[in-house]
Amino acid sequence: MAGALLLIVMIAPAAAAAGCVLVRVPRVAEGLNLIASLAVCAAAIPLTILSARGPYYYLSEYIIIDIAGAWVILCTAIVYLLASIYSIGYMRLLGEDEKLWGFYALFAGFALTILLSAVMNNAGLYWIAIELTTLVSTFLVGFERAAESIEAAWKYIIIISAGISLALLGTVLFYWCGSFVLGQTYDMTWEALRDAAPKMNPALALLSFFLVLVGYGTKVGLAPMHTWLPDAHSESPAPISAMLSGALLNTAMLGIVRYLAIANAAQNEILARKTLVAFGVLSLIVGALFIVRQNGIKRLMAYSSVEHMGIVALGFGIGGPLGIAGALYHMLNHSLNKSLMFFGAGNAMRSYGSKEIRKIRYLWAYFPMQGALWLAGAVAITGAPPFGLFLSELVILRAGFERGYDWAVYAMAVLLIVIFIGFLNHFRAMYFDTAGAAPEDRPAQISRWCVVPMWLALVPLVVFGVWWPSAMWDHFAAAAHTLTGAAP
């Protein structure tokens, strides 16, 4: 059953990408991509449930379906579906129908590479899959072909490639560590590395982990390796910004978590965890500083992604059942919430013809429904109740106290207050500031295709903020046991 569901998850976007290339008709291409996203999401939900009974191995154990990987697939599938719906309305506004078949082919291909990364059971193949996400998404970052978009695409591929090179070096060093235990030739599966870790040289294993952490941390957008992220998120089409933030970053974080389990088993648990926690706190600091002083609406969302990946890093770094549960829950809530925020930002940009916050005014008066959805998302993304991110952040804070990371908890709490004030101050200006001049012409109206996915993202955010299903907690507890060996 799990194998059949995985087959659907992989074949659907691949078939959509191939269909877009063969047909080259814009309306058919967007339909193929939407159908593929529906199929992926429909298969990802039962696959996530079945993963608790696994892990399942396929293709000579090169493919794995485990709880953590299936959870990333679920987050990716949700964002892929929401972004596919949104892109139908958004991309038609560009007035470049002749290029849309290429956009949707790349879009489906991008989703495929992310999904493929989550199920790689070989450290080397995982690196290749992550590199494929970079190559495909680079063309999407620069899709609009403006000077700023091309510059952002180049900056994206150069910085990410530098980071991924360090991750490759760390992967090679981990293989070398394992060769002293498993012999010169062996399958570099996650399980093999973890089983061999207690007999590895601790210093060499720690160095390998640091290289991998910095390498894949660049892809995650952890500070100070985050410098590609604001430009790429700002210049990409809005649905691609949602995929970058809500799907791609989670997949790269999965690699760090898998290597963290190996470092822990190699007698480096304390230092490895403290390093990841430190990167998390630093990301929160950088996010807070740039959010307060931001002028561009999509760059504001980008630095929010830096902040939230820092929170996820804190959860996994703190560890234990609560820390891991909070981090996984935060992944899902952030995927939903950031999709909503980028959709709202894309709508505002297209309506007002500007990315600058100071030029977006009277939003509530012109767009009462869309404005209410976007404002609710803004409150949610700052971690305020009654939304899902509030609950996941609360769980991570509690885990920090229980695991002795009081300093990180206090830093996180203070920085979240700063971010709450700074982020919502920008929205106060866009909604309620009457000092700026109103637009000379009424801002352009937005298609319903661009509003419906905002509803679809907001409703579960509210539900997850007031109700944490017991089955989901059991799922997270099983994930903690799988990743750390802690009692479920």
Residues 115-155 pLDDT 10s:
999 999 999 999 999 999 999 999 999 998 888 899 999 99
Angle (deg, nearest 10), helices 320-352 and 67-92:
10
Quick one: pLDDT at residue 471? 82
Average pLDDT in the 349-359 region? Answer: 87
pLDDT digits (tens, 9 = 90+) for 27-50: 999 999 999 999 999 999 999 999
Q: How far is CA 262 from CA 13, 19, 61, 353, in A?
A: 32, 41, 18, 49
The band of 258, judged by pLDDT with boundaries at 50, 70 and 90, is: very high
Q: 437-476, pLDDT tens digit by residue?
A: 555 565 667 788 899 999 999 999 999 998 887 888 888 8
The confidence score (pLDDT) of residue 146 equals 85
Res 436 pLDDT > 70:
no
Distance between CA atoms of 12 and 7, rounded to whole angstroms? 8
Give residue 432's domain range.
Answer: 2-484
Instruction: Determine the average pLDDT of the residues in 56-84.
Output: 92
Buried-state track 36-45, b at ≥16 Cβ within 10 A, e below 16: bbbbbbbbbe
Question: CA-based angle 372:245:421, to the nearest 5?
Answer: 50
Condensed to tens digits (0 to 9), the pLDDT of residues 164-196 reads 999 999 999 999 999 988 888 888 999 999 999
Return the percentage of the chain with pLDDT > 90, whole number: 72
Answer whether 54's CB lies under 8 Å from 233's CB: no
What confidence score (pLDDT) does residue 21 get?
94
Degrees, nearest 5: CA angle 247-10-16: 90
Predicted local confidence at residue 110, as pLDDT: 96
pLDDT at 157: 94
Report the pLDDT value the prediction gives residue 170, as an integer from 0 to 100: 95
Q: Which pLDDT score is estimated for 488?
A: 37
Q: CB–CB of 332/75 below 8 Å?
A: yes
Q: What crossing angle do the helices spanning 67-92 and 470-484 adopt, rounded to 10°?
A: 120
354 falls in which pLDDT band (50, 70, 90)? confident
Please tell me the distance from the alpha carbon of residue 239 to that of residue 3, in angstroms, as a whole number: 29
Domain count, the chain: 1
Q: What confidence category does residue 434 fall into, taking pLDDT thresholds of 50, 70 and 90?
A: low
State yes or no: pLDDT of 486 exceeds 60.
Answer: no
Residue 363 phi, psi (nearest 5): -65, -40
Per-residue pLDDT tens over the stretch 374-393: 999 999 999 999 999 999 99
Q: Which of 282, 272, 283, 268 is nearest to 316 (CA)?
A: 272
pLDDT at position 361, please?
85
Average pLDDT over residues 322-327: 94
